[in-house]
Amino acid sequence: MSFFNSIGRSMNQSLPGTPTSPGVAKPLYLCSPFVEAALVKGNFKHIVMLPKYADVMEWVAVNIFDFYQNLNSFYGVLAECCTQQSCPSMSASPNLNYTWINQDRKSVQLPAPTYIDYVMTWAQNLLDDETVFPTKSGREFSQTFPSTVKHVYRQLLRVFAHLYHAHYPQILHLRSEPHFNSLFAHFLAFGKEYELLDIKDVKGQPGVPVGIGALWERWREMGILDS
């Protein structure tokens, strides 16, 4: 079964980067053909729907595990470009840097590779924890599972945001944008369907043509995602 609809393009063609307002260049990931590269035809809703007889907690757990694994693989390839020097902060747009809450509950700036390493290690430990993500039959999900997965979702979203903002040229160079777009659109659609995403986190400010908020808006306009 093929969900993907590849759009061919030549690496030699000049890359679009139309300025949308003085001083603000439109990021490549919002430009055609990249914004629609290899997305599922039509809407993602059918992929995220709970299969018949499946338990919703298990369905969420399995999907989060997959999103984590796929994002981790992408990051593994891009990690050599994401260094303390290239990314001294966890940037997600020209004027948005995420901060990390440390053990003293203080909000601190970290270089992106450090931030992402913390997120991925923390998420991996949760996924490996049988009390949080039970894998044996008959195990119950704890009452805190929904809030835990929302927390995981929010942090994975930040990793996506940084990769789109800071590493899209490398994603294009690897010709991975069809897969990366598909993974991210699936992640957004799933998060929306199961209320794991805080839409305010995604949508950003209206009228601001940068960041993953703008990508969300474009995909919504294209009918890829629900409003």
Q: Can residue 166 be called a binding residue for Zn ion (CB under 5 A)?
A: yes
Query: Which residue, 112 or 185, has its beta carbon nearer to Zn ion?
Result: 112
Q: How many CA atoms lie within 13 A of 182 on its CB side?
A: 18
Residues 56-85 that bind Zn ion (CB under 5 A): 82
Question: How many residues at the interface with Zn ion, by CB under 5 A?
Answer: 4
Rounded to whole angstroms, how far apart are CA atoms 28 and 172? 9
Query: Which residue, 82 or 185, has its beta carbon nearer to Zn ion?
Result: 82
Residues 112-151 that bind Zn ion (CB under 5 A): 112
CB of 166 to Zn ion, least distance (A): 4
Binding segment toward Zn ion, per CB under 5 A, in 68-76, 130-138, 165-173, 182-190: 165-173
Query: Which residue, 32 or 86, has its beta carbon nearer to Zn ion?
Result: 86
User: 133: burial class by Cβ within 10 Å (0-12, 13-18, 19+)?
Assistant: buried
Asked if the bond preceding 33 is cis, omega within 30° of 0, the reply is yes
Q: Can residue 92 be called a binding residue for Zn ion (CB under 5 A)?
A: no
Q: Of these, 87, 152, 159, 188, which contacts Zn ion (CB under 5 A)?
A: 87
CB of 17 to Zn ion, least distance (A): 20
Question: Closest Cα partner for 43 from 206, 208, 186?
Answer: 186
The answer to whether 223 touches 42, Cβ cutoff 8 Å, is yes
As a dihedral over the C-alpha atoms of residue 89, residue 157, residue 213, residue 14, rounded to 10 degrees, the angle is: 70
CB of 71 to Zn ion, least distance (A): 14
Question: Closest Cα partner for 122 from 102, 106, 104?
Answer: 102
Token readout for 115 is: 């931030």
Q: Can residue 90 be called a binding residue for Zn ion (CB under 5 A)?
A: no
Query: Which residue, 27 or 189, has its beta carbon nearer to Zn ion?
Result: 27
Query: Which residue, 84 or 147, has its beta carbon nearer to Zn ion?
Result: 84
Contacts with Zn ion by CB under 5 A lie at 82, 87, 112, 166
